[in-house]
Structure 1
Amino acid sequence: MAIIRRNDTDRGLVRNRGLDPFEMMQDLLRWDPFRELSRGVVGGTEAVSFIPAFEVKETKDSYVFKADLPGIKEDGVDISLTGNRLTISGQRQEERKDEGDRHFVYERSFGSFSRSFTLPEGIDVDHVQAELKDGVLNVVVPKKPEVQPKRILVKGPGEGEKAKA
C-alpha cells in the first residue's frame, strides 16, 4: 500500500487540473478566505489550533449547545455563565511525539479554545446542565417557566358565561 502525501495547497483555490472554466468556477465558489485565518497561517508556516464545531438551537423550553470535543476529558472543559453570557473553553493536549517517529500525515489539531454566547433574558441559571459523552459536549440552558410559550384557549360565544334561560 502506498502512502500519498497531501499538501494543504491541494485544498486551496488553485489546483493543477487544467484550464476548464467550470472547474475553476467551482474552486472559486468553494474557496473560504477565512479558512486561512482559522488555521493560523503565520509567516508561511501553519500554527495548528483546535477550533471545535458548535451547534446551537432553541427549543420551546431551553437553549441547547452541542460541541464536538474529541479527545477532551471532563476536567479539560470549563463552562461559566456570567449574567446572560455563556462561555465554554478548554484545551486539547498534543500527544507526545517521539524523535524517531516519521509522520506521513499530521492533520490533527491541538490547543486551547474559548467560545462565548450571549443568551436572551429569561434563562434559568440555577438549572443549567452539561454532559460530555462520546466526545460531544451537550449544554442545556433552560428557560424560566414565565418566558416559555403558553397556549391560549380561544373561546367561542357563550362558552365563558352560563347560558341564560
Structure 2
Amino acid sequence: MSNITRHDPLDELFRGFFVRPMDLHAGNGQASTPSIRMDVKEQEKAYLVHAELPGVRKEDIHVTVDGNQVSISAEVRQEHEEKEGERILRAERYFGKVSRSFQLAQDIDDSQAVAKFNDGVLELTLPKRAATSSKRLAVL
C-alpha cells in the first residue's frame, strides 16, 4: 500500500520564519551589536552626560556640538576568542562605528564645553548658553 503525502508550498516558504535567531553571545554577557548607553542630567547651568563606551580608545571618540544638537561617535573593535587548550573553538570579531545623536532643550555654549574619558565612560559637561533677549526693531 502506498502512502499519500500532502505537499504544501507555503509550508516550505514559511518554515523557520517564526523561529528566533540563535544568539551566540548568550550567557557571556556581551551584546552582539555594540551601542552607546547614556545618562543625561540637567543641572541649573549645564547638562551632564555620561556615555558608556567600554573597550574604546580615547582617540577613537568624536563629539560634535551644534546649537542644541549633540553627536557622539566612536570606532569600536571587539575581539572574542574561546580556546580549549591549543584548539580554538570559536573566534569572533566586530569592527565598526557606533553613534548617537540627541537634542537638548537649550543651546550649548560650545566654547565652555568639556569632555573627559575615564574607565570606558565619556563624561560631557555642556554649559547652557545664556538666553538672549529678543530685540524689537523699529519700523522706518
Q: TM-score, normalised by structure 2?
A: 0.60
- The corresponding residue for 1:125 is 110
How far apart are 1:90 and its partner, in Å?
A: 0.8
CA offsets 1:49-81 (integer angstroms, 9 cap, x no match): 101211000011100110111111111111111
Q: Is the 8 A contact 2:65 2:108 kept in 1?
A: no
Deviates more, 1:118-127 or 1:67-76: 118-127
Query: What is the total number of aligned residue pairs between the two structures?
Result: 103
The structural deviation recorded for 1:124 is 1.0
How big is the alpha-carbon RMSD for the aligned residues of Structure 1 and Structure 2? 3.3
Residue 101 of structure 1 corresponds to 88
Q: Give TM-score scaled by structure 1 length.
A: 0.52
3-state SS of the aligned residue for 2:36? Answer: coil
> Could you tell me how far apart the structure 1 residues matched to 2:68 and 2:107 are?
9
Residues 133 and 70 of structure 1: CA distance in aligned 2, closer, same or farther (over 3 Å): same
Within the candidate set 61, 76, 80, 2:64 is matched to 80
Identity of aligned residues (%): 29
Q: Is the 8 A contact 2:108 2:129 kept in 1?
A: yes
Residues in 1 aligned to 2:78 and 2:110: alpha-carbon distance in whole angstroms: 34
Deviation at 1:145, TM superposition (A): 4.6
2:44 counterpart of 1:67 = no
Distance 1:110 1:66, change over 3 A: farther
- SS of the residue corresponding to residue 105 of structure 2 reads coil
Structure 1 unpaired stretches of 5+: 1-42, 148-165
Does the 8 Å contact 2:62/2:72 carry over to 1? yes
In structure 2, give the amino acid aligned to 1:86.
V
More strand by share: 2
Q: Which amino acid aligns with 2:121?
A: V
* 1:109/1:76 CA distance change after superposition, 3 Å: same
Gaps of at least 5 residues in structure 2 are 1-19, 25-31, 133-140
Distance, in Å, in 1 between the alignment partners of 2:33 and 2:43 is 32
Residues 1:44 and 2:28 aligned together: no
